[in-house]
Amino acid sequence: MKNISLNIDKVLGTVSKEQIYALETQINESNTLLEDGTGEGNDFLGWLHLPSSITEEQLADIEYTANSLRAKCEVIVVIGIGGSYLGTKAVVEALSNSFDWLQADRKNPVILYAGHNIGEDYLYELTEYLKGKQFGLINISKSGTTTEPAIAFRLLKKQLEESVGKEGAKQRIVAVTDASKGALRKLADQEGYKTFIIPDNVGGRFSVLTPVGLLPIAIAGINIRDLVAGAVSMEKTTGIDVPMSKNISALYAATRNALYQNGKKIEILANFHPKLHYIGEWWKQLFGESEGKEHKGIFNASVDFTTDLHSMGQWIQEGERTIFETVISVEKPDHSLVIPTDEANLDGLNFLAGKRVDEVNKMAELGTQLAHVDGEVPNIKISIPEVSAYYIGQLFYFFERACGLSGYVLGVNPFNQPGVEAYKKNMFALLNKPGYEKESQAIKSRL
């Protein structure tokens, strides 16, 4: 079976192979830090060999629970924020029929999300939509006290209990949380919810291959065994024993750092396949939260082509030359659709008649690459044979491994996120949360 592949040829006008391979020693040292667990953030390396450590018993338990919820529910609300929902949404959006949720005879529950914002209108409209629906909840939180998901769960738990009673709700709520501590663990034990564990040593943005992602992905009807198998294959091909020239995670990490050192401070992840939009959203969190520290780090942005060529395309082509582009290219779409002939030909497109839509898309991709490289935008290309669970599993692990390596080369701890706490302290003080009285007085004096 083929693997995803990496091509860095179109960056070589900006940086040389010598500059990229000058980082090989640092890449090897970073790989050793990962494998030996001797680098910063080593208490969050559970993702490193997670794919190959997932057992048959764990997969069977997840599938059994998924089938149980599928039998009871027409809607599943996944409650979580950051890595607790982005990985799931990325996989589900990539591998589901784009219009399945509109079909009355769909086979799988509709997957919705809550707890990823504090939008009152969003939550109100969600609760209105759920009225009269058979729905269930997957609440994902290590602590159970993170503000956004805790508010959503409080509201939706109340609605579910009012709809089907406490006993009925117990059969439709699953908690994915800490093994032994935290508010959600305590509540789950008290109420008798089915639970899955978020490993202590796996951070949220690396958690898609834990029950955090695997349970809702299975409920959506996606083969989680294929997803895991793809990640296992990439774990093997990006290991410490694979030289950088053949290790695509290592080569990607080295290339983006060489570009960064050469003044390319912004990385744009582009795709020409609309279903990959949320892959870009997950990727932004993975690298942004991992590397943006100590006033260092590449700024991450993502675009959907060709759509964004009609908006951001101008800036990418002719704006400040501080950017480089990483393109996810899908070799083969799932379906075939041929452009018909039109006798009047008023749109002038008969020269495309008989061609598949994907052929036009591929030429748009190639034309864009040439234009952007001519416009001094270095291009990295990641090729995926097809959008399937196996290759999405490969892609996720490829990026995760590259992120760990890249962060260490950059000289930061890739596995913490201290800056994320700043807004929370201010918010709690402004809301007069107990214990924040001193901060409240200080902040209010500034308003």
The per-residue pLDDT for range 339-377, each reduced to its tens digit, is: 999 999 999 999 999 999 999 999 999 999 999 999 999
pLDDT at 26 over 80: yes
Question: Sign of dihedral through CA atoms 329, 307, 289, 214?
Answer: negative
Pair 212, 275 in one domain: no
Residue 427's SS3 state is helix
- Domain annotation covers residue 108: yes
- The whole-number pLDDT of residue 430 equals 65
Q: Using omega within 30 degrees of 0 as the cis cutoff, is the peptide bond preceding 306 cis?
A: yes
As a whole number, mean pLDDT of residues 202-209 equals 94
Claim to verify: residue 111 and residue 215 sit in the same structural domain: yes
Q: Please check whether residue 72 lies inside any domain of the structure.
A: yes
| Residue 57 forms part of a structural domain | yes
The reply to whether 69 and 210 lie within a common domain is yes
Residue 153 sits in the same domain as residue 279: no
Q: With contact defined as beta carbons under 8 Å apart, do 217 and 88 qualify?
A: yes
Q: Inform me whether the pLDDT recorded for 435 exceeds 70.
A: no
Task: Verify that 92 and 138 share a domain, yes or no.
Answer: yes
Whether 275 is a known active-site residue: answer no
Question: How far is the CA of 431 from the CAs of 56, 116, 124, 273, in angstroms?
Answer: 46, 19, 21, 42
**pLDDT at residue 419, as a whole number:** 65
Distance (Å, whole) CA 239 – CA 218: 28
Question: Which of 209, 227, 245 marks a domain boundary?
Answer: 227
- Give the distance from CA 319 to its chain's centroid: 28
The CATH number assigned to the domain holding 36 equals: 3.40.50.10490
What is the C-alpha separation between 278 and 276, in angstroms, rounded?
6
**24 lies in which domain range?**
5-41+233-418
Q: Is the pLDDT of residue 16 over 70?
A: yes
| Same-domain status, 357 and 311 | yes
Residue 434: its pLDDT value, please?
77
Same domain as 318, residue 268: yes
**143, part of any domain:** yes
Which among 227, 248, 279 is the end of a domain? 227
- Tell me whether strands 75-79 and 110-114 are parallel, antiparallel or unpaired: parallel
- Out of 158, 424, 425, 444, the active site residue is 424
Residue 238 has pLDDT above 90, yes or no: yes
Instruction: State both tokens at 399.
Output: 């990026």
Catalytic-role residue among 107, 131, 310, 438: 310
Which of residues 175, 203, 227 is at a domain's end?
227
For range 120-135, the mean pLDDT: 96
Nearest to 208 by CA among 222, 198, 195, 220: 198
Q: Is 289 a catalytic residue?
A: yes
Whether 116 is catalytic is: no
Residue 37 shares a structural domain with residue 54:
no
Mean pLDDT of the region 300-328: 96
pLDDT at 420: 67
Residues 251, 107 within the same domain: no
- Please name the residues in contact with 321: beta carbons below 8 A apart, sequence gap of 6 or more: 376, 377
pLDDT of residue 144: 86
What pLDDT shows up at residue 447? 73
Residue 431 within any structural domain of the chain: no
Give the pLDDT confidence score for residue 418 in this predicted structure: 79
95 with 202, same domain: the answer is yes
The DSSP string of 95-136 is HS-TTGGG-TT-SSPEEEEESS---HHHHHHHHHHHTT--EE
Does some domain include residue 425?
no
Are both 191 and 54 inside the same structural domain? Answer: yes
3-state secondary structure of 190: helix
- Asked if pLDDT for residue 441 goes beyond 80, the answer is no
**pLDDT tens digits, residue range 41-99?**
999 999 999 999 999 999 999 999 999 999 999 999 999 998 889 999 999 999 999 98
* Per-residue model confidence as pLDDT tens digits over 214-232: 999 999 999 999 999 999 9
* Largest Cα span, the chain: 76
Q: How many domains does the chain have?
A: 2
Q: State the catalytic residue, choosing from 93, 235, 289, 291.
A: 289
